[in-house]
Amino acid sequence: MNFNSFEFLVFFPIVFLLYYVLPHKLRPAMLLLASYYFYMSWNPELVFLILGTTVISYFAGIIIDKYRQKKLLSKACLVIAVGTSLAVLFFFKYFNFVADTAADVANLFGANVSWTAINVILPVGISFYTFQTLSYVIDIYRNTCRVEKNFGYYALFVSFFPQLVAGPIERPENLIPQLREGHKLDAENIRSGLRLMAIGFFKKIVIADGVSAIVDKVYNAPDQANGLSLVIATVLFSVQIYGDFSGYTDIAIGCARMMGIRLMKNFNRPYTAQTIKEFWGRWHISLSTWFRDYLYIPLGGNRKGEARKLLNVFIVFLVSGIWHGAAMTFILWGMLHGLYRVVEDVLAPHIRSFYKKRSIDPSNEGLVLFRRIRTFVLVAFAWIFFRANSTEELWVLLGKLFTDWSLAPDFFATTLSSIGLDWLTVLRIAVSVITLVYIHRIMPDNTYPAMPTTQKRSGLVQKLAMVFLVLAIALGWIMLLSNNQTSSFIYFQF
């Protein structure tokens, strides 16, 4: 069940009404049943997978907490819970990729290895709820969060439907206590939640889906692309993936907010970042902080010297690439961002010294703009690796980017025509993006805080903006449904 589907438009209002009509004691059970129904709408059989992962991590947490003094038993439970979760994730997401890669390597040495891939369905959201169960068990072992003895509340923490499929990846200390609270119907929560959901649907239906056809036309036929069409498609993919993923997050946070539950912020205007480090502090924040707490710091963080710190940073981005998908393109994407961060950290003190010696103000507006453009270009270039359908097509695309250009007078117009980008479409995309930027500036909340200079915008402007958003969403939804073109969110595949 996608958020951008007719089924969800029926499902969520029913859940919302039941949540406030039912007594507090019955709400968690209703939410748990609704969450499992939501998950089973993709594939009913896969419910046993999330249930099994939940049961194992729940009992592991109970035993670790009860027998904390018995270090060997506690560590054994931790290893079993973590190992089981990672083994399930590996089998469903990476087994075929690893087996294919091993066979290819063996064939390089003349082994003549071949095998038939196992036909498995990748369970939606498996990477997200697996990381939530891992953080819970690890935090119990570290004694940094309280064990949840009520299985129902813990199962709801793992499966809470708004953020089940694509995050944000919640921490137990934030979500579980909120699931226990007796939330009252609150007008501000409803207004804030609806506003976030509207912005999320606008990002997905109007912006992301509005550019997807152009992006697909270039990336699904790399042989027919040229350097200019690839640049245009990559910039639009940068817009698409932000609109798609942050749109899902907005809808998820908005749904939860309407029930009085506050999920963590996952995006904070990432394309305004001035460095790659800052970008990852603004993009997919729940994943970045997860890797920081459960991989980077355990590896030693920055406590073991500069060289080890840079290695740890690179490892984190390599693992992040692997987390995103079982393909060499994702691994290369992660390694590229790791290389960005390493080079950035190495050059940072030299740049600061350069500014100081020449009395250059690093907060100069021109320098800020330059750094933002530079960071966007680096991020967009890396998106080519992320979006390419295979490594073979990736090399074709990179070759086109650096060689396939022309000085012919009609090169620009012909390229735009070949990818279906007319001036009306350009205007529609530009208006949509500008509208989104303006919406974020005039509508304050704790997920997208308003800019300081726009804190006192009139309520009338906000209302008019929301009316425009709703009309644009309705028109986009009608057009998509009439053409049977509703699409899944990009991060559902992870």
Here the tokens at position 247 are: 């749109």
Judge whether 309 and 301 are in contact, CB under 8 Å. yes
475: number of Cβ within 10 Å: 12
Question: How confident is the model over 470-490, as pLDDT tens digits?
Answer: 776 666 666 655 555 567 777
pLDDT band at 455 (very low <50, low <70, confident <90, very high): very low
Looking at the predicted structure, is the pLDDT value of residue 129 above 80? Answer: yes
Amino acid identity of 344? E
CA dihedral 152, 154, 156, 157 (to 10 degrees): 170
> For residues 267 and 109, which has the higher predicted lDDT (pLDDT)?
267
Looking at the predicted structure, is the pLDDT value of residue 226 above 80? Answer: yes
Looking at the predicted structure, is the pLDDT value of residue 421 above 90? Answer: no
Region of poorest pLDDT, from 18-32, 376-390, 410-424: 410-424
Whole-angstrom Cα distance, residue 262 to residue 260? 7
Phi-psi region of 360 (alpha: psi -120 to 50; beta: other; left: phi over 0): beta
Looking at the predicted structure, is the pLDDT value of residue 77 above 80? Answer: yes
Whole-angstrom Cα distance, residue 138 to residue 427? 50
Residue recorded with tokens 């010297």? 305
Whole-angstrom Cα distance, residue 405 to residue 152? 60
pLDDT band at 392 (very low <50, low <70, confident <90, very high): very high
Q: Which of 2-6, 269-273, 449-453 has the largest mean confidence?
A: 269-273
For residues 242-259, average pLDDT: 93
Looking at the predicted structure, is the pLDDT value of residue 39 above 70? Answer: yes
Catalytic residues: 324
Rounded percentage of the chain residues whose pLDDT exceeds 90: 53
336 Cβ contact partners less than 8 Å away, ≥ 6 residues apart: 381, 382, 385
Whole-angstrom Cα distance, residue 334 to residue 450? 32
Q: What is the pLDDT of residue 102?
A: 76
First to last CA, the chain: 16
CA dihedral 331, 333, 339, 342 (to 10 degrees): -90
pLDDT band at 461 (very low <50, low <70, confident <90, very high): low
Residue 192: C-alpha distances to residues 2, 115, 196, 234, 448 (Å): 22, 53, 6, 33, 11
For residues 311-319, average pLDDT: 95
Q: What is the pLDDT of residue 326?
A: 83
Domain residue limits, the chain: 6-182, 189-493
Q: What is the pLDDT of residue 384?
A: 97
Angle between helices 423-442 and 227-258 (to 10 degrees): 40
105 Cβ contact partners less than 8 Å away, ≥ 6 residues apart: none
Looking at the predicted structure, is the pLDDT value of residue 448 above 70? Answer: no
For residues 312-332, average pLDDT: 93
For residues 191-219, average pLDDT: 89
**What average pLDDT does the structure give for the chain?**
87
For residues 62-66, average pLDDT: 92
> For residues 98 and 57, which has the higher predicted lDDT (pLDDT)?
57
Judge whether 86 and 138 are in contact, CB under 8 Å. no
Looking at the predicted structure, is the pLDDT value of residue 454 above 80? Answer: no
219: number of Cβ within 10 Å: 19
DSSP letter, residue 294:
I
Question: How confident is the model over 13-23, as pLDDT tens digits?
Answer: 999 999 999 99
